[in-house]
A and B are shown apart, each in its own frame.
Chain A
């Protein structure tokens, strides 16, 4: 049963994946606090570690081209266990979208609008996202090429503008941190943001693709997004040096340091624009996935009228997740990678193995 009949091209999927990953390029403090000047190495390691699972994602999409994740779980694990896992994924997608929504609200509140209550920011974002979600995947992903290009241009420009403050010695010494830090950092990067691409298992039935195309789109989207994340980390370490782990938003400080002559300075507004733009896209996509998951789980043909209520749940649920930024930072660094591993790596891998053993999907009888 296809709930959303909209179709997007595999090229749009590529931009969608790139945009999704780029949004994480701007909030890297959870990584730089642990791996400091070696964060750029850890981003590379995380990308390499995730590559096999990216292949796995593409393979699952090619094996079940017309079925989204909930349907795949039903088919592979049976109706009971499939439903239980489906509910678990529903919680996962709702939590992902709520956390990102709260991050957006907290960032804008902390840096630009100090007195505006965070729920007000969340509500505005949800209302705009809801318009896209109600119209379906086509509108949700429509502006991703524009966002990707704007983000790339802005990041490149900002790198050139701070090149005069870039010091190669800020990357030294290399590999002097304890091994646990590298392992933890790699795990964090592989699960947040790369692993979150598992949400595309809910979207691939709406993509017009061949087996080769889906892997190509996923890979190139991953490459563009990953490269943005890596180059942002490199830039921040090169400019901020041994102070990179002090700041909650290192990229914001880097943008603030831009000083080219008397007129080109104070460019942090560019950072705010691209962060809000990219995070808004990610939230809209996750919002769409959450609504689609509910509809699929409970076999509701038209999800339009659930959009606003899910949005309101995202806002209120998001406010309950973390009572303070310190608890959020500790959770993101210590426990979230482990929890996310179950949904992003363990269950998809197990699903793939079981599907292969049971020779699924079964060919449709004429």
Chain B
């Protein structure tokens, strides 16, 4: 009987049976039934915020969800509210993932982080330390390393809940703003990867842009109000926008930034065409460090006020001198603030580690005090090749018809 069965199942028939069975198996296995993720079963997260939960040791995780057309199943137990363009989901937990898992229990949709635009930490949480909350962002495959991070001046849910006219959600708005600022200088934008990288280097202080919400004539707005200074993952202090500019100018690669200068002769606003800074770090014999910043750049005149009676050939050297002094002053002021906090926001320690690793081993334990005693020299050389559509202003000599 076996022989009869074997005879019937000749090669061709066997091949046919095998092909049909194989095809059925492949169709079952390749249809992606386990991992199908339909758009209407997803909550697309556009902003993640972490804050301290009131009156407890827990943290609050706030998620901003980009709104889709169909109704959602988010329950009110975890705290959800709808605003015009986005949904806010909130939950408390011991860690970010703990809070997020709680949100998952109360929702008919699964959370999708691949399009997250911003990660926000409240200043209150930042002062306690952020290192322990970064593991989720580092580990989860969906969370992205290039997402910009922010510190909020005030509670994070207020920032995420801001109803903006021009953008669908606060997360997307912040991502766009910081992208625009990064065109002025790449040091404005701090990605999760950059923050992690700086936090890993124990002697370097990380900076994160700060964002605040404010009301203006019944409209809610968000603004970047400076940068938070971190040391070992804990927020120490902050730089306001003016001090941030001093930091940006010291780091170089600056374009299109406005620099304001004033003297007894007049007031001018420059537009930076390009400005770059070269840094020369020298180790002194006494164990100290000398830093020389050589700033070179080209500026354009954005706006002039004053300089009464001065002709253009005399104004240019005056403006050049004003610009150079102003840039020097701004860089020095921010540097002094960093020195007073012993916060190496310029990553000078990192540079010494890279170029003089042996000497660094001896210096790193006392880097805070070495940094606060750094000898800084700023040398600024600018040119003003651009004056805009007009060369002279109405107040300058030669402007009036009677002068001619």
Contact = CB atoms under 8 A, between A and B. Distances in A.
A and B touch in the complex (CB under 8 A): yes
Interface of A: 110-117, 120, 123-124, 127, 169, 172-173, 176, 240-243, 246, 253, 256-257, 259, 266
A131 B181 CA distance: 55
B29 A123 contact: yes
Given A117-B34, A242-B201, A243-B193, A257 B351 contact: no
B352 to A, nearest CB: 10
B26 A127 contact: yes
B282 interface: no
Contacts of A117: 34
A240 B193 CA distance: 8
B106 interface: no
Interface in B117-167: 138, 141, 144-146
Contact of A256 (B145, B201, B357): B145
B193 A114 contact: no
Contact of B138 (A246, A256, A266): A246
B320 to A, nearest CB: 32
B35 A173 contact: no
Contact of B197 (A127, A243, A256): A243
Contacts of A169: 351, 354
Given A110-B141, A115-B35, A127-B25, 6 more contacts: A113-B34, A116-B32, A240-B193, A242-B197, A242-B201, A256-B145
B30 interface: yes
Nearest to A109: B35
A111 B357 CA distance: 37
Contacts of A111: 141
B355 interface: yes
Interface in B170-209: 193, 196-197, 200-201
Nearest to A113: B35
Contacts of B29: 120, 123-124
B193 to A, nearest CB: 6
Contact of B200 (A243, A253, A257): A243
A120 B26 CA distance: 10
B353 interface: yes
Nearest to B25: A127
Given A117-B34, A240-B193, A243-B197, A256 B354 contact: no
A238 to B, nearest CB: 13
A116 B197 CA distance: 33
Contact of B35 (A114, A124, A242, A246): A114
A176 B355 CA distance: 11
A114 B34 CA distance: 8
B204 to A, nearest CB: 10
B22 interface: yes
Contacts of B26: 124, 127
B34 A257 contact: no
Contact of B32 (A113, A240, A257): A113
Contacts of A253: 145, 193
Residue of A120, A123, A242 most packed against chain B (CB within 10 A): A242
Contacts of A241: 197
A116 B145 contact: no
Interface of B: 22, 25-26, 29-30, 32, 34-35, 114, 138, 141, 144-146, 193, 196-197, 200-201, 351, 353-355, 357
Nearest to B146: A257
7 nearest A-B pairs in the assembled complex, by CB-CB distance:
A172-B354, A173-B357, A113-B35, A115-B34, A116-B34, A176-B357, A173-B354
Contacts of B32: 113, 116
A256 B144 contact: yes
Contacts of A110: 141
A124 B144 CA distance: 29
Given A127-B22, A253-B145, A246 B354 contact: no
Contact of B145 (A172, A242, A257, A266): A257
30 contacts: A111-B141, A112-B35, A113-B35, A114-B35, A115-B35, A116-B32, A116-B34, A116-B35, A117-B34, A123-B29, A124-B29, A127-B22, A127-B25, A127-B26, A169-B354, A172-B354, A173-B353, A173-B355, A173-B357, A176-B357, A242-B200, A242-B201, A243-B193, A243-B196, A246-B138, A246-B196, A253-B193, A256-B144, A256-B146, A257-B193
B34 A172 contact: no
A361 to B, nearest CB: 38
Contacts of B25: 127
Contacts of B35: 112-116
A124 B30 contact: yes
Contact of A259 (B146, B197, B200, B353): B146
B35 to A, nearest CB: 4
Contacts of A112: 35
B272 to A, nearest CB: 20
A262 to B, nearest CB: 8
Nearest to A120: B29
Nearest to B357: A173
A117 B32 CA distance: 11
A116 B36 CA distance: 10
Nearest to B356: A173
Contacts of B144: 256
Nearest to B350: A169
Nearest to A246: B138
Contacts of B22: 127
A328 B353 CA distance: 33
Given A113-B34, A127-B26, A242-B201, A172 B355 contact: yes
Contacts of A173: 353-355, 357
A127 B221 CA distance: 58
Contacts of B34: 113, 115-117, 120
Contacts of B193: 240, 243, 253, 257
A169 B141 CA distance: 28
A240 B145 CA distance: 10
Contacts of A124: 26, 29-30
Contacts of A123: 29
Contacts of B30: 124
B27 to A, nearest CB: 11
A176 B200 CA distance: 17
Contacts of A243: 193, 196-197, 200
